[in-house]
Amino acid sequence: MKKIMVLGAGMVGKAMAIDLCRESAVTAVDKDPAALAALKTGSPLETITADLADTGRIAALVAGQDLVIGAVPGFMGYRTLQTVIAAGVDCVDISFFPEDPFGLDALAQEKGVTAVVDCGVAPGMSNLIIGYHQRSMTIDRFECLVGGLPMQRDWPFEYKAPFSPLDVIEEYLRPARLVENGQIVTRPALSEPELVTFPPAGTLEAFNTDGLRTLLKTAGIPNMKEKTLRYPGHIQLMKILRETGFFSDTPVSVQGTMVAPREVTSRLLLPLWHLEEGEKEFTVMRILLEGSTPAGRSIHLYSLYDVYDEPSRTSSMARTTGYTATAAARLVLEGHFNRKGICPPEYIGAAAGCFERILADLAARHVLYTHKEN
Q: Which is it for strands 183-187 and 176-180: parallel, antiparallel or unpaired?
A: antiparallel
Radius of gyration of the chain (CA): 20
* pLDDT score for 278: 87
Domains and CATH numbers, the chain: 3-120+317-366 (3.40.50.720), 125-307 (3.30.360.10)
- State how far the Cα of 39 lies from the Cα of 112, in Å rounded to an integer: 32
Amino acid at 19: D
| 9-20 residue pLDDT tens | 999 999 999 999
State pTM to two decimals: 0.94
Average confidence (pLDDT) over 305-331: 96
Burial of 203 (0-12, 13-18, 19+ CB in 10 A): exposed
| 228-284 residue pLDDT tens | 999 999 999 999 999 999 999 999 999 999 999 999 999 999 899 988 888 999 999
Contact predicate 334/327, CB 8 Å: no
Count the neighbouring beta carbons within 10 Å of the beta carbon of residue 8: 27
| 114-145 residue pLDDT tens | 999 999 999 999 999 999 999 999 999 999 99
Average confidence (pLDDT) over 150-164: 88
- State how far the Cα of 120 lies from the Cα of 358, in Å rounded to an integer: 12
- For the cut 80, the answer to whether the pLDDT of residue 164 exceeds it is no
Q: Which is it for strands 91-93 and 67-70: parallel, antiparallel or unpaired?
A: parallel
| 40-86 residue pLDDT tens | 887 899 999 999 999 999 999 999 999 999 999 888 999 999 999 99
Q: Which residues pair with 230 in a beta bridge?
A: 205
* pLDDT score for 275: 87
**Helices 33-40, 11-20: crossing angle, 10 deg rounding:** 30
* pLDDT score for 276: 86
